[in-house]
Amino acid sequence: MRRVIYPGSFDPVTNGHLDIIQRGCKLFDEIIIAVLVNPDKTPFFSVAERCEILTDVLKEIDRGECKLTVESFEGLLVQYAADRNAHAIVRGIRAISDYEYELQMALMNRRLEPNIETVFMMPAETYSYVSSRLVKEVFQLGARIDGLVPPLVEQRMRQKK
Ligand code: PNS
């Protein structure tokens, strides 16, 4: 049973995140999509809203035999991963610029919990420039975001505006 954690802010979930989850479904038996509760950030969507949106959009994913679970977590990621008996943490890498920060986190996480591996996955090139931060920025400035996020996310963002 290969259970992995795919952690993130998911504020909001993008098509890049979904692409990683879809690819992960071919490799793992269970993916826990874990939304970080981060009191330092002022989010667009609350953690509860993000979990609800994720649960809804994941219904569209062709998951095969893979179980997909959405949860929120607080505190140390490796502690949460160990509590869930996860084998690995999955992170998406879009470009070399992501790599430095991700490598730093992966090595720190390995130091803290040597039994949990970090697996880097690449999304489709189409999404190599897509980030939640940029999606929010261009949306708030009035630009179109279709194709970058699932239609439900765009709809929920419009309701918030
Ligand atoms: O989507 P994000 O914001 O890039 O995700 C970052 C995340 C959630 C993976 C990272 O902030 C994290 O793991 N936070 C939990 C606290 C923690 O364990 N920090 C030490 C990381 S080495």
pLDDT value, residue 75: 96
Q: Residue 53's closest CA among 3, 17, 20? A: 17
Start-to-end CA span in the chain (Å):
42
Q: Is 158 a catalytic residue?
A: no
For residue 116, what pLDDT is reported?
A: 98
The active-site residue, picked from 41, 67, 158, 160, is 41
Place of tokens 């049973």: 1
Which residues sit with their C-beta closer than 6 Å to ligand 1? 7-9, 36, 76-77, 105, 108-109
DSSP annotation of 105 reads H
Q: Which residues contact 122 (CB under 8 A, 6 or more apart)?
A: 92, 93, 94
Question: Is residue 41 among the annotated active site residues?
Answer: yes
Residuewise pLDDT in 10s, the chain (161 residues)? 899 999 999 999 999 999 999 999 999 999 999 999 998 879 999 999 999 999 999 999 999 999 999 999 999 999 999 999 999 999 999 999 999 999 999 999 999 999 999 999 999 999 999 999 999 999 999 999 999 999 999 999 999 87
The angle formed by the CA atoms of residues 77, 79 and 82, to the nearest 5 degrees, is 110
Which is the closest atom of ligand 1 to the Cα of 36?
A: 8
94 is catalytic: yes
Q: With contact defined as beta carbons under 8 Å apart, do 92 and 16 qualify?
A: yes
Q: Are strands 3-8 and 30-36 parallel, antiparallel or unpaired?
A: parallel
Other C-beta atoms closer than 10 Å to the C-beta of 152 total 15
| Per-residue confidence (pLDDT) for residue 161, from 0 to 100 | 76
